[in-house]
Structure 1
Amino acid sequence: MSIYQGPLSKEDFKTALVECEKKAWVWHSFANFKQMLDAQNAKEFIYWGKDKITNEDDYHSDASTIDLYEVYCQLLDNNNQQDNESLTKFSQNWTDEDGFVLTKFQGETIENGNEVGDKARVFWTLENAKKTPHLKVADFSGNLDFVAVQKQTTDLLNNEQSQYHYLFEPAFGYDNNNLKTRCDILRLNGNNHVEIIEIKATSKIKPEHFFDLAYQIFILEKNGLIVDEVYLGHLRDNFILGVPFAYDDSPLKDLASTLYEETPQITFAEAKTAFEKVLNSNWQPDSEIKMIEDEFDYFLDFDPWLKKQGSKTAPYSLLEAYRDLETQGRWESWINELSTYLNKPLSLMTYYFQQPNCSWPVALKQKKGAKIWAPKETFCYHIMPWFDTSQPHIFQLTGSSNFANSKKAQVYWETQQVYLTKIKSLKGLEASLTFKGDDFFLPYHHEHLDLVHQYQTNKFRITDAINGKQGYVKQNLVQYSHYPVYMYDFETVKWAIPRFHRSKSYQQIPFQYSIDVLMDDNYDYNQPQSMKHYDFLANQIADPRPEFLREFLKAIFSQGPGVYVAYNDSFEKTVLKYAAWAFPELKIPLFYIVQNTIDLMTFFKGKKGVYPWFMVNHPLFEGSYSIKKTQPALEPNFSYTDLTINKGDKASQVFREFIDGLIPQAVWEEGIYPDLLAYCNRDTLAMVVILQRVKEIYQEWEQNAK
């Protein structure tokens, strides 16, 4: 007879205690998922979890996300072989022993996790051979049959425990396998004493990692084992492949920034001369390198700490945190209550879905030196009363961490207002909200609401897009009047395990560029011949950077000094800074481009005390400054819909598969290569569209003002 109401996976457990118990209910089983889908179709509730599968990327602000709930709904509406295969994969994922793992639907995420796990097993195998060669290692990682591995694990621990030191992916279950887990690495200390080593393809410890380990500790100790210590193995942010390692080394981000800051202003003549010198030397850097055995000691950090020593706080280990909550009886009560909650039918969940808060998530807080696990107390945006997302709504107001989804949900829950067309004034709405400080909404939210009202009543004119900010637009346009103007865009690829010499984990490695050069005022995106165009796409299974940089600098210097333009320029600048550090021979020309690049996104994204947000605004931006929103709103006839590859994350994934040898050369050259070229070229042309339309809007406003 089972103790618990039903199965409770590790993913359920983490989601409920870190994000939202209602979201955990949706993804607990396919039955729950389907019930939520039915409730949404019946216009009772809406799932707004926006299951963001975010890339491990410290520097690229345009991290790709996937809304799996929305994707599934779209798949149901289609009827083709590829989508049917996706539906099959979707359904099969519910049977995973960890529960429905959302990140398994993003190719790079699972590939990175597998790669880091493989390298960690190599590390501990080598470690065992060095220090305890008389003890054996058991590797169950190749066996996906949970029950079979569970039996093998039990037999080994009962009969051969003293002969082994490390177990890779052993399996444990409890309560008729209502709870089950596989540990990444288990170190055996004898007499049922063990240490858990969890491997994560990330550079830092996150709250969900603690609950991941806690779930494992609970199950292992229910199996009669004694957990002496737990470690979170994660990537070191200061490990650089091919560079001698020291524990106090600075991360690449700091090394590249320091190099840049110490470089004086560079002239075009200096940059071009330095580049021509490299070209004339037949520059061929040897950047191909693989991790050597000694480097396995450094690329991963095995961390026992939930909170490290601070200036005013004592360290707090992962196991210590677990024991504190165990003493309070929290683990038993959480697991018992959650297993009951997640197995309720929709008819019994209606009450919970009508509550405004996420009730289960907890966070570690320190008060007067004491460590307390307290409720997060956030407004729930995961499941809410249904609303029509095709209408302008409160969740379209942007603001990053200053105006997160929980704040938008607060508006909905406390005022029952969600449609922007029905809100007369945000200032008036604030009177019904509970908050601290002077203002709940950000300044440009009021402007966005006014534009929505104008648009809905057919009073919006395109010149209203710059109303009141014409001076800023005029000042910004001046920068683009000095020709030539080089519009450039990069596509990049990354790996959790550094792939090339002098690169780090998750570094954005450039493999493709597109450049559109505007030579004078006569450019027109409808007439490509009015501009000069350059592009490049790496075509060899090798480090793409040397050839990329050589060809990029040739093109970017081809028409003499000019204005260099990127969209969200911090991304391209970071790529170039890292390249300058990796290839110091090219430091001068690369830093010249960084020093002289301006950001087209300035028309939309503000900078406090310098220029306002949305000096160009449009209701169809839906409060976003992403180029995928700004460009179609300003020119709806220009789109990406005709392209096979039409998103940056898709381009990156395809190129990674090519470099990893998963795509045959013939398939790459005949089919994929031209599709990738077309995508990147479309990106820079979209930038030309934006500049051209902003210029036309300003000229129209100026004409009307006469």
Structure 2
Amino acid sequence: MPLINKKTFLEFLKCPVKGWMELNNPPKKVISLADKYRMEEGKEIGERARQLFPEGVLLEEKNSFIAEDITKCMFRDQSFNTIYEAAFIDSNFVTRADIIEETKEGLKVYEVKSSKSNTKQIKELIKDIAYTVMVIKSAGYNVNEASLILLSDKYRKGLSEQSLFELYDVFNEAHRFIDEFFSEKEKAVEILGSLEKPEPKFIYECRNCDYFKECFDMDRDKTIFVLHNKHHSQVKRLIEQERYLLKDIDVDELEKDVHRRIYRSLKENKLIVDDKRGLWEKLNNLEYPIGYLDFETVSTALPLYDDLGPYEKLPFQYSLHIKKSPDSPLKHLDYLFFDPSVDESKRLAETLAGDVEGIKTLIAYHDSFEKSVIKNIIERNGYDEQLKSVLTEMIDKFVDLEMLVKEHIYHPDFHGSFSIKKVLPALIPDFSYEGMKIKNGDDACYVFAKMARGDYSELEMEKIRKDLLEYCKLDTLAMVKIHEKLLELCSIF
């Protein structure tokens, strides 16, 4: 059988089927623009973390068995005390340690992560290093320290390289997981090494699994997982009762209007519009001129501009469609950093303040994002009081188009989501993001990041600028179309 690596083992602990599939029949994954950037950035973070241990030597061999032999030789050679990417094999299990230091007391194991030091995912990160330590110990080595190297929440671009990282000793926390991992090793080898895929079990973690269809041969939209944002405890209770399908529950059991609407829409296989009068009143109360606003933000592990921290969001673009009255023609305005190598957020804010002058209502899709962007702009920059006042007033003008949809409408083609990427083609079939070079905010973010880093030629930059402007423009035009559709749906009540 193939060697079991960290990803496979940890997936196995969550779901034996997923672990088996990852080892024996891994899916062919399409790498997006965002995925590619994150991989490149993760590699750079690893390389920069090595500078904390400048005496180290990189083990570049890819073959795990050969790399393990080289690791043993390097440990026998007293001139190598620190190794990057050392390889360890214990029977069926393999690991590569980001950084290893050999001391008289034993090995110090360091795992480099692209996460911030205040991450809420610390438990999962500790599990990662716990697996690495388990394999190293099982291979016959003594480990006396285990630390995570994380991005410092206090770091800002322009500070020293040393201040980019924070080290966290997680030796004791890791050993709590190691004891559990040791007890599962034999079972993992038996199941993962079998020629037959294990019998799937319907669990809460199945809700977003790529193998759902293959495991259960059922449409996810016909299961309880389609109930948008239903609390995990309620879903788990239904699973414990072996009531996996919507048909297994009664509509009266559903407490929230949105869940009852989803249930009815899927059962009747049609668009449901509830409380048309209420929807009409909400729409009729919107004051014109109306602006439809969407930001694109960049958020990278390694900050692009001075005084910016890891993963701090910075708006680099916006699109604004304006309707002065219900029957007036659409006007479109936008902004995209002219020189991505320079932080133009102040210029963006000043341009936006002028563009929204006179607008009474601002419509956004999931408006908490747009509000947070504006608040961050205000907090981050030392603007004059007049500009701050304009930006602050904008926050109170927002209406969330997503909530209007969620509170009144459901279409089977939403597939349990109220994302604009699902809602738009379901309500307006001839209008979608298909064929776009940039199709989502994630790709827009990382394409811009590569522009800021100077990774493109001038000719490529010109083409990408057009793609970014076209994508963001479609986001706000989509809001206009959805708004018009809502007016149409509630015109008769």
TM-score range, shorter chain: 0.7 to 0.9
Find out whether 1:537 has 2:330 as its counterpart: no
Structure 2 residue 314 is matched with structure 1 residue 509: yes
Once residues 104 and 514 of structure 1 are traced to their aligned partners in structure 2, the CA distance between those partners, rounded to angstroms, is 22
Q: Which is further off, 658-667 or 400-409?
A: 400-409
Other-structure match for 1:486? 291
Partner of 1:364: none
- Residue 233 in structure 1 maps to residue 149 in structure 2: yes
Kindly tell me: are residues 342 and 181 of structure 1, through their superposed partners in 2, closer, same or farther at Cα, counting changes over 3 Å?
A: same
Task: Measure, in 2, the Cα distance between the counterparts of 1:668 and 1:104.
Answer: 15
Which residue is 2:41 aligned to? 112
1:414 alignment partner, SS class: coil
Deviation at 1:114, TM superposition (A): 1.8
Per the alignment, do residues 406 and 155 of structure 1 end up closer, same or farther by CA in structure 2, a change over 3 Å counting? farther
Q: Work out the CA distance in 2 between the residues paired with 1:157 and 1:124.
A: 17
Secondary structure, aligned partner of 1:584: coil
Residue equivalent to 1:283 = none
User: 2: distance between equivalents of 1:190 and 1:382?
Assistant: 52
The alignment's TM-score, normalised by the length of structure 2, stands at 0.87
Contact 2:227 2:262 in 1 (8 A): no
Please, which of 671, 691, 700 is the counterpart of residue 483 of structure 2? 691
2:454 corresponding residue in structure 1: 661
* Aligned counterpart in structure 1 of residue 268 of structure 2, from 446, 451, 454: 454
Instruction: Provide the residue aligned with 1:196 in structure 2.
Output: 109
- Matched with 2:278 is 472
Change (3 A) 1:331 1:424: closer
Question: Are the structure 2 counterparts of residues 684 and 356 from structure 1 closer, same or farther at C-alpha, using a change threshold of 3 Å?
Answer: closer
Q: What is the aligned partner in structure 2 of residue 23 from structure 1?
A: 18
Aligned-pair CA distance for 1:218: 2.2
Shift of residue 573 of structure 1? 1.4
Alignment of 1:572-651 (within 5 A): 572-585=370-383, 586-605=387-406, 614-651=407-444
Q: Helix, strand or coil for the counterpart of 2:239?
A: helix
The answer to whether the aligner puts 1:296 opposite 2:296 as a matched pair is no
Residue matched to 1:257 = none
2:103 partner SS: strand
Give the total of aligned pairs.
Answer: 482
Separation (CA, whole Å) in 1 of partners of 2:435 and 2:131:
47
| Separation (CA, whole Å) in 1 of partners of 2:333 and 2:290 | 13
CA–CA distance in 2 between the matches of 1:424 and 1:14? 32
TM-score, normalised by the number of residues in structure 1 = 0.62
* Alignment partner of 1:168 is 2:84: yes
Percent of pairs with identical residues: 24
What CA distance in whole angstroms lies between the structure 2 residues aligned with 1:382 and 1:388? 7
Alignment RMSD (CA, Å): 3.2
Q: CA deviation at 1:165?
A: 4.7
8 Å Cα contact 1:20/1:358 also seen in 2: no
Q: CA deviation at 1:187?
A: 2.4
Contact 2:315–2:345, Cα closer than 8 Å, also in 1:
yes
Work out whether residues 493 and 509 of structure 1, in 8 Å CA contact, stay in contact via their aligned partners in 2.
yes
Unaligned runs of 5+ in 1: 34-68, 73-85, 91-102, 126-136, 242-289, 307-316, 362-379, 429-438, 524-529, 606-613, 702-706
Q: What amino acid does structure 2 have at the position aligned with 1:153?
A: T
Q: What are structure 2's unaligned runs of at least 5 residues?
A: none
1:121 to partner: Cα distance: 1.6
Are the equivalent residues in 1 in contact too, given 2:41–2:301 (CA < 8 A)?
yes
Deviation at 1:543, TM superposition (A): 2.3
Of 467, 472, 475, the residue aligned with 1:675 is 467
Could you tell me whether the CA contact under 8 Å between 1:230 and 1:318 is conserved in 2?
A: no
The equivalent position to 1:496 in structure 2, one of 265, 279, 301, is 301
Per-residue Cα deviation, 1:603-637 (whole angstroms, up to 9, x for no partner): 034xxxxxxxx223333333322112222222222
Shift of residue 565 of structure 1? Answer: 1.8
Residues 340-419 of structure 1 mapped to structure 2, 5 A cutoff: 340-346=190-196, 349=197, 352-353=199-200, 355-356=201-202, 384-388=215-219, 392-395=221-224, 397-400=226-229, 402-403=231-232, 407=236, 410=239, 414-415=242-243, 418=245
Q: 1:228 to 1:397 in 2, by over 3 A?
A: same
The superposition leaves residues 647-667 of structure 1 with CA deviations (integer Å, 9 ceiling, x where unpaired) of: 222222222222222221211
Question: 1:470-512: per-residue Cα shift (whole Å, max 9, x none)?
Answer: 34313421442x2211111011222112222332221222121
Residue 12 of structure 1: aligned partner: 8
Cα displacement (A) at 1:645: 2.1
In 2, Cα distance between the equivalents of 1:455 and 1:6?
Answer: 46
CA distance 1:623–1:334, shift in 2 (3 Å) = closer
Q: Which residue of structure 2 aligns with residue 563 of structure 1?
A: 361
Distance 1:514 1:554 in 2: 13
Residues 545 and 676 of structure 1, relative CA distance in 2, 3 Å threshold: same
Using the TM superposition, give the Cα deviation of residue 425 of structure 1 relative to its aligned residue in structure 2, in angstroms.
Answer: 5.9
Kindly provide the CA deviation profile for residues 156-183 of structure 1, in whole angstroms up to 9, marking residues without a partner as x: 21121xx5553222222233xx322221
Would you say the 8 A contact 1:510–1:544 is kept in 2? no
- CA contact under 8 A between 2:300 and 2:310: conserved in structure 1? yes
Following superposition, the deviation at residue 302 of structure 1 comes to 1.8
